[in-house]
Amino acid sequence: MQKNIVLVPFGHIDSSIINHLSQELDFAFQIPVKFKETQVVPRVAFNLHRNQYRANIFLEVLANLNLSDRALGLTDVDLYNNRHDYVFGATDPQRKVALVSIIRLNPGFYKMLEDIKTYYSRITKEAIYELGFLFNLSKCPQEDCVMHPVANIVDLDLKSERFCGNCSIKLKEFLGRE
């Protein structure tokens, strides 16, 4: 069951981002990464007053695709939920869907110089973090672990792209049972 990860772009996402991320996810989870055709950004998710999109709607769209794999949606629109002014991503472990917005991961968003290495690293960390919940992992207290929750971009830059020892063992055990 759900042996693969499938990447689902909402709107245009640069193919170099998708290719880089698929390699990183393959490496992190040791399972194949597949691709689904580009989906339309759900207009119903747009909040005119906030000029942002509700993350939950994207998760619903992903769940309704009824993919037999774990799905990771990618979008470049700004996301929020009921509890936060903005979110880098979202996840629904029960329905095996996760989501990342790349807009706030781009150094350009903060008026910083273009920096592909930092940009891609942030996307990798956020994607592994959100997907981790679909593999039975949870928030990790280890500050450098990729499953450590972050509140802002500074914290995201501080943690690594890798699982700590405990999370690695949990993941291996889970994948072995599947």
Stretch that binds Zn ion, among 37-45, 91-99, 114-122, 141-149 (CB under 5 A): 141-149
Stretch that binds Zn ion, among 1-9, 17-25, 67-75, 147-155 (CB under 5 A): 147-155
Contact criterion met (CB below 8 Å) for 154 and 122: no
Q: Which of 24, 60, 126, 130 is catalytic?
A: 130
Query: Distance of CA 162 to CAs 43, 159, 165, Å?
Result: 35, 9, 9
Does position 142 bind Zn ion by CB under 5 A?
yes
143 catalytic? Reply is no
Residue 2: HSE in the Cβ half-sphere, 13 Å Cα cutoff: 19
Taking CB under 5 A as the criterion, the residue among 98, 100, 164, 171 binding Zn ion is 164
Does position 140 bind Zn ion by CB under 5 A?
yes
DSSP symbols for 27-76: HHH-S-EEE-PPBPP-GGGEETTTTEEEHHHHHHHHHHTT-SSEEEEEE-
Does position 167 bind Zn ion by CB under 5 A?
yes
In the complex, which residues of this chain contact Zn ion (CB under 5 A)?
Answer: 140, 142, 145, 147, 164, 167
Catalytic site positions: 130
